[in-house]
Chain A
Amino acid sequence: MEPEIVFEAQQDPTFYDAVAALPEGERLRSCLQCGSCGGTCPVARILQHTPRRLFAMVRAGMKREVLTSLTPWVCSSCYACTVNCPAGIKITDIMYALKRMAIKEGLQPKESDANRFAEQFTDVVCAHGRASEFEAMMRYMMFSHPGRLLGKSAVGLEMMGRGRMPLLPHRIQGLESFRRLVARARELDEVKP
C-alpha cells in the first residue's frame, strides 16, 4: 500500500460533521479504530480501504477519497461488521449513506460503476412497481459489460427455459398512484438525482 500524504489544504474540515449528520452517522464519532469491521468483512480481500481505514479518512476530512472509494460500492450488505462493531456503529447503514452522498456529489467510485447499476435497478422498480432482473441486467451490461453478459448468457438461457427469468417485467395495477408516491419521494429526499 502506497503511503498517502494529505496536506491540510486538501482536507475538508466540514466533512466529518457532514458524515456524522447522515442517518446512523453520529455513532461514527465513537469509532475505536479497532479493525473488527475489516476482520469480519467478506470482501476485505479486494479492498484498498477497509471500513476502519475509511472512517479514519472521514475524520481526516478526505472527502474526495472517501466518496470515490470502492468500499461502499463493493459492500455486500452482509452486516457482519455491524453486528461485530464494539462501538455499536451501524457500519452497513453508513455505507449506504456514503453511497447516496457520493451520488449526490456526482462522484464516480474508483474501478467500479456499481453506482450505475443501483440507479438503473431503482429506475426499473420506479417504472413498473416491480423489479425485473432481466431488464436491469440488460440495461447495465449491454453496452458497458458485454463480456459479462456473454458469460452469463448460457446460464441465463437455462433460467429462461425453466421459467425463472421472465423477459417482460411484472407491472403493478396501481401504477398511477404509485408514481405519485415515487415522485414525492424524489422531491423530498436528501439526494436528488
Chain B
Amino acid sequence: MTEYAYYPGCSGRATARGYDESLLAVAPRLGMTLTEIPDWNCCGSGLALSVNQVLSLALSARNLALAEKIAPTVVTPCPSCCLTLNKANHVLQDGGAAAAPVQSCLEAGDLKYGGGVRVRHLLDVIVNDVGVERLAQAVTAPLTGKRVAPYYGCQVVRPVAEGDDAEYPHNLEQVIAAVGGEVADFPLKTSCCGGALVATRPELGREMCLDLLRSIGAARADIVVTPCPLCQVTLEMAQHQNRGILQGGALAPVLYLTQLIGVALGLSERELGLQRALMPKTCRRALARTEQQPAL
C-alpha cells in the first residue's frame, strides 16, 4: 500500500461528493492509502488569486505545511486545487523573494513548511503509481461495449501535464481501455467547459458547454468520464438545463474518474455516489449491461 496525504478540495464535500465517495471506495482496491490532511482549508482557487496573491499562496501553504506532517505526496482529485497548491509549492521550494511573505503568513498561523511535499493529481497517480495493468487486474465488471468519451478539461493538462503528454494526453484513454471500455474520441476533449463563468457569464458558459456536449454526442458516447469536479458539475448542470434541446450522446452521464473505475470494480451505486446524479435514470440506463446494441 502506498500512503498519500489526501486533499479532497471543497467541491469534494459539496457538488462533487460522488467524486470523494467513489475515490475513497476505490482507493484501497488499488493499493492506495489515503489520509485526509487534518483540518485542511480551501486553496482559494483562481478567485483568491484574482484578489490577493500573497493570500492565495498562503492559503495553499497552510495545506502544504499540514500535509508535510503526514506524507511526502499530496493527492487531490481537483485539477484546480492541484494547480493552485503547486503554484505555492514552487514559490516556497524556490525560496526566492516571493517566498518570504508567504513564510511570514505561515508563522502568523503557527506553522512551518520545509518544502518536502509533492502535489499530484489523482489521474497521474492512478496511471503512473497504481498503473493501468494493476487497474485492469482489479476489474471484475468490465465496461464491454460501452463507448466512453474522455473529457480532460483544462487544468489537468495545462499549463503542465504532469505524468502525461501535454500535446497528446492519453491517460484517460488508458484508464478507459483498462476498465474494458471503448474510447469515444472527440476533438474538444481538452477544450474549456466554461465552468469558471457559471456565475459571472452564464450565457457564454452555456454556449461553451453546448459546443462540448454536441461534440461528445457526435462521438456516439454512452458515458463521459472526467477527472475534474468542476467540469463534471458544469456539464451535468448544462445537460439538465438544456435536456430539451440535447439528445443521444450529448446527454450521456458525466462520471468522475473514480466512478467509472468503481463501476468496473463491481462497486454499488451507493458506494460510488452515483445516486447523486442530476439525472439518475439516464445514468442507470447508460450503465446497465444489456444486450449489445448493433454497431451503426
Chain A contacts with B in 155-175, Cβ cutoff 8 A = 155, 158-159, 162-166, 170, 172-174
Q: Which of B10, B54, B108 contacts A130 (CB 8 A)?
A: B10
- A29 at the A/B interface (Cβ < 8 Å)? no
- Whether, in the assembled complex, A21 has its beta carbon less than 8 Å from a beta carbon of chain B, the answer is no
Are B58 and A182 in contact, with the CB atoms below 8 A? Answer: yes
Report Cα–Cα, A118/B53, bound state, in Å: 13
Given the known interface contacts A158-B240, A165-B14, the answer about A193 and B48 at a Cβ–Cβ threshold of 8 Å is no
Main DSSP-derived SS at the A contact region: helix
A15 within 8 A of B: no
| Contacts known (A92-B159, A130-B42, A185-B105); A122 close to B55, Cβ less than 8 A | yes
Interface presence of A73 (CB below 8 A): yes
A159 contacts B15, C-beta separation under 8 Å: yes
CB distance from B60 to the nearest CB of A (A): 11
Question: What chain B residues lie within 8 Å of A166 (beta carbons)?
Answer: 13-14
- B293 at interface by CB-CB < 8 Å: no
Interface size class of A (residues with CB under 8 A): 35 or more
Q: Is the CB of B104 within 8 A of A188?
A: yes
Across the interface, do A125 and B44 meet the contact criterion of CB distance under 8 Å?
A: yes
B192 contacts partner chain A, Cβ-Cβ < 8 Å: yes
* Nearest CB of chain A from residue B34's CB, rounded to whole Å: 19
**Which 3 pairs across A and B sit closest by C-beta, in order of nearness?**
A181-B109, A79-B158, A78-B192
| 12 extra interface residue pairs, beta carbon distance < 8 Å, beyond A74-B200, A78-B154, A177-B109 | A43-B197, A45-B204, A45-B207, A73-B200, A78-B191, A136-B199, A163-B17, A164-B276, A181-B108, A185-B52, A185-B101, A193-B52
14 contacts between A and B (CB under 8 A): A23-B98, A42-B192, A43-B204, A46-B204, A79-B155, A96-B46, A155-B237, A155-B241, A177-B111, A180-B110, A181-B105, A184-B105, A185-B52, A188-B104
Give A contacts to B, CB under 8 Å.
Answer: 23, 42-43, 45-46, 73-74, 76-80, 82-83, 90, 92, 96-97, 99-100, 103, 112-115, 117-119, 121-122, 125-126, 129-133, 136-137, 140-141, 148, 151, 155, 158-159, 162-166, 170, 172-174, 177-178, 180-186, 188-191, 193
Interface residues of B (CB under 8 A from A): 10, 13-18, 39-42, 44-55, 58-59, 62, 80, 98, 101, 104-111, 154-155, 158-159, 166, 191-192, 194-197, 199-202, 204, 207-208, 233, 237, 240-241, 275-278
